Chains A and B, each alone.
Chain A
Amino acid sequence: MRNRVLLWLALAGALLAGQALVPTLAQTVAQNAGPVTSLRGEIAVDETGPASATVGQAKPTAGFGRAYRQQPPLIPHRVDGYQVNKDFNKCLSCHAWPQNAQFNAPKVSETHYATRDGEPTDEVSRARWFCTQCHVPQADAEPLVPNAFKNAREVGGAFK
């Protein structure tokens, strides 16, 4: 008998707690009517928030090296404002053969001078045109999440 009373009490308690946790429709609507929260935070769209902290660009003089054989090399300089669109590619002004030697810039890999069917081309393939899809600059900042990343050579295996 005593157990049964306890059981009923527990059930009633759970039900009340559940009701408290599950918001009513009215509550949901009230919450959604509040200010929109986005990546901007609580700042309304017509207000100006504080400037976000800027992060510098990592510029190792000898480049970043690669973490594994097939890794697209990273960019060791700033590229803000570089025009890379259908018409023009600022990266190629220096990195394309033959002027790369005069600019003392690493040459774009020959693998980039072929159509997807393997037909050789004299211009960087349109499939490879947008450099920063693979080659990216690096912020001069601590990792956001602590980690114990090791490159392919450090962990050994197929790349050793």
Chain B
Amino acid sequence: MDTMSEQGKAPGALGRMWRWLRRPAVAVASGTLLVVGIALGVAGWGGFNWAMELTNTEGFCISCHEMEQNVFVEYRTTPHYSNRTGVRATCPDCHVPKDWVHKVLRKVQATNELYHHFLGSVSTPEKFKAKRLELATNVWKGMKRTDSRECRNCHDFKSMDLSTQEGRASNLHQKALESGGTCIDCHRGIAHQLPAGADAAVAKLYQALGYKLAHEEGYFKGNGGNGGNGGNGQ
């Protein structure tokens, strides 16, 4: 059509519309660009976040048998799955940060996990068990570095009423609060089983990071220590 008008023939109604579309006034052009841009932006941004949230569900996590048959079955026996109050924390609640920047960074990291999934690095229970201490240590290290950020989404010292806790727990939490301790210092193996050699690995990790563990700090001495509930963990 365009070539037809260039040949000198008067353009028809369709041709005029086409020309108006091809060379619109500046205001119309920038307006259209803006509207389409905003629409695409909203759709793109929303779509991106929607897709990212899809990968942030328990169903997505256990769609890989490595997760479903190892860590998920263990988690199902723990208080984070079933408890007195009926509040449940699923995989992403503990393993994916809530705020956007850290979440996207974690998602980028997760591409490494995809790589190892296709490589079959932990494709059998035996392989998983052999690698378990290393994987768990990674999580402990991350938790220590971020002051147990994902735990704190629900378990925040600021909203914790120590006076309603059992004597032993109250005492130890008080000490942790005063000395800047964090959840993972004691609460390990609470949603998944601990691998062989876990205690020694933790001691080594904390030494490398330059921290002391609760019992090394003397938390359990004096009135905090008699009888009570196990201490390290649960």
Chain A residues near B (Cβ < 8 Å): 59-63, 76-83, 85-88, 90, 93-94, 99, 102-105
CA A93 to CA B214, docked complex, whole Å: 12
Interface residues of B in 179-220 (CB under 8 A from A): 189, 193-196, 198-199, 215-216, 218, 220
Determine which of B77, B193, B216, B229 lies in contact with A87 in the assembled complex, contact meaning CB atoms within 8 Å.
B193
Residues in A neighbouring B218, C-beta threshold 8 A = 102
* CB–CB A103/B232 < 8 A: yes
In angstroms, Cα B127 to Cα A113, docked, is: 31
Contact between A82 and B234 (Cβ–Cβ < 8 Å)?
A: yes
16 extra A-B contacts, CB within 8 A, seeds A88-B195, A93-B231 = A60-B227, A63-B227, A77-B227, A77-B230, A78-B230, A80-B234, A82-B233, A83-B189, A85-B193, A87-B194, A88-B196, A88-B198, A90-B232, A93-B199, A94-B231, A102-B218
Most chain A CB inside 10 Å of its own CB: which residue of B194, B218, B221, B225: B194
Query: Please, which residues of chain A bring their CB within 8 A of the CB of B231?
Result: 93-94, 103, 105
Taking the closest CB of chain B, its distance from the CB of A114, in whole angstroms, is 21
Chain B residues engaging chain A, CB cutoff 8 angstroms: 77-79, 129, 189, 193-196, 198-199, 215-216, 218, 220-221, 224-234
Contact B220 A103 (CB under 8 A): yes
Contact A94 B230 (CB under 8 A): yes
Query: In the bound complex, do residue B198 and residue A99 qualify as a contact, i.e. CB atoms below 8 Å apart?
Result: no
The interface residues of chain A lying within 8 Å CB-to-CB of B221 are 102, 104
Q: How far is the CA of A105 from the CA of B232 in the complex (A)?
A: 11
Chosen A-B contacts, 19 in total, with CB atoms closer than 8 Å, are A59-B227, A59-B228, A60-B227, A77-B229, A77-B230, A81-B77, A81-B78, A81-B234, A83-B189, A86-B196, A88-B193, A90-B194, A93-B231, A93-B233, A102-B218, A102-B221, A103-B220, A103-B225, A103-B231
What's the nearest-Cβ distance from chain A to residue B70, in Å? 13
A86: B residues at CB distance < 8 A: 196
Closest CB in chain A relative to B81 CB, distance in Å: 12
In the complex the two chains form, what is the Cα distance from A93 to B196 in whole Å?
12
The 10 closest A-B pairs by CB, nearest first: A104-B225, A102-B215, A87-B196, A88-B194, A104-B220, A93-B232, A103-B220, A77-B229, A61-B227, A103-B215
- The reply to whether A102 and B230 form a contact with Cβ atoms under 8 Å apart is no
Q: Report A42 CB to chain B, min CB distance, Å.
A: 25
Instruction: Name the residue of chain B whose CB is nearest to the CB of A94.
Output: B231
| Chain B residues, CB < 8 A from A60 | 227
Q: Which of B77, B198, B224 has the most CB of A within 10 A?
A: B198
Contacts of B216 in A (CB 8 A): 102
B220 touches A102 (CB 8 A): yes
Interface centre among B216, B225, B227 (most CB of A within 10 A): B227
In the complex formed, the residue of B with least CB distance to A77 is B229
- Which residues of the other chain, A, contact B230 by a CB distance below 8 angstroms? 77-79, 82, 90, 93-94
Contacts of B225 in A (CB 8 A): 103-104
Complexed CA–CA distance, A120 and B167 (Å):
38
Contact of A76 among B79, B227, B232, B233 (CB under 8 A): B227
Cβ-closest chain A residue relative to B226: A61
Choose from B129, B193, B198, B232 the contact partner of A94 (Cβ within 8 Å). B232
**How far apart are A23's CB and chain B's nearest CB, in angstroms?**
44
